[in-house]
Amino acid sequence: MLRSALSLAAQGIAVFPCRCRGKIPATAHGLKDATTDPEQISAWWTQQPDYNVAIATGAVSKIFVVDVDGPKAELELQRLDLPATVQVTTARGRHLYFRYPDTPVRNTAGRIAPGIDTRGDGGYVLTVPSVHESGHVYRWAGARTVAAAPDQLIAKISERANGKATSPEEWQLLFTSEIPEGQRDCTITRMTGKLLRHCVNAADVLGIMQSINAARCKPPLPPENIERIVESIAGRELKRRGRG
């Protein structure tokens, strides 16, 4: 693990440790602790050699990642005609690495296609040779160099941020589909924002999100994570209405 973390840092990619066989950060500030400092990196993995290795995506590392989760997402990916690039095999699919473009790349869930997410600014992914809770070992695949992202991919990631509305059909799918690991936080956040924007009481939203988490998140998030998300989005909504 340490050798991989140091190798990535030497390439300018900021890393930090996650708990063994998990995606939960092992440092006090998680993603914000990501660094390329070899002394800090050595200290982390000397403390616990089996920590998983996480990459902070986005401008900080000059890369972003397309996360392909499951067979249906693989079929959707074939329609995008993406260039060969560095990849990592995951427990349910793969991560495709692309060079960070001139325009910001945000984290998205299902914006490109169902089951295809992106991890950009403010995001992170596990990388080689981390071990998933299932026992799967993350491994390198694909090309040896990180490709530039095609313009159509960047446009696809950015289109709703530029004002394109989410259709009723897409919202219905969002509220009724299973929510796999890797999409839980983003999906719960989007649903929470949708309900609060339509003036559903925050206490009721919390109850709804807790029920959705228990029934449809695979696996469910800790209840305190749902409380944190609803509290955060509710605070933003009050400010938007001029009450915060």
For 59-116, the pLDDT digits (tens) are: 999 999 999 998 889 888 888 889 999 999 999 899 999 999 888 888 888 888 888 9
- The answer to the question of residue 163 being in a domain is no
Residues 25 and 75 in one domain: yes
- The answer on 59 and 140 residing in a single domain is yes
Shared domain check, 207 and 130: no
Q: Are residues 37 and 92 located together in one domain of the fold? A: yes
User: Side-chain half-sphere of 217: how many Cα atoms within 13 Å?
Assistant: 24
Paired tokens of 216: 């449809």
Answer with the residue of higher pLDDT: 2 or 76.
2
Residue 29 located in a structural domain: yes
pLDDT class of 124 with cuts at 50, 70, 90: very high
Residue 97 lies in a domain: yes
Residue 236 has pLDDT above 80, yes or no: no
pLDDT score, position 243? 47
Question: What pLDDT does residue 160 have?
Answer: 53
Q: Write down the pTM of the prediction.
A: 0.67
Whether residue 190 sits in one domain with residue 96: no
Q: Is residue 79 part of a domain?
A: yes
Task: Note whether 46 and 150 are same-domain residues.
Answer: yes
DSSP state of 20: T
* 33 or 237, which is more confident: 33
pLDDT tens for each residue of 132-184: 999 999 999 999 999 999 888 888 887 654 455 566 767 777 788 888 877 78
- For the chain, the domain total comes to 2
Q: Please, what is the average pLDDT of the chain?
A: 88
pLDDT band at residue 126 using 50, 70 and 90 as cut-offs: very high
> 148 and 31 in one domain?
yes
Q: Are residues 66 and 111 in the same domain?
A: yes
Final residue in a domain of this structure, among 128, 158, 188:
158
Domain boundary among 117, 139, 158: 158
Residue 74, C-beta contacts closer than 8 angstroms, at least 6 positions apart: 68, 93
Residue 111 φ/ψ, nearest 5 degrees: -70, -40
Q: Which residues, 6+ apart, have CB-to-CB distance to 162 below 8 Å? A: none
pLDDT tens figures, 190-211 = 888 888 878 788 889 999 999 9
Of 134, 158, 182, which one is at a domain's C-terminal end?
Answer: 158
Domain encompassing residue 234: 168-240
Task: Give the pLDDT of residue 242.
Answer: 56
Looking at the fold, whether 86 and 174 belong to one and the same domain comes out as: no
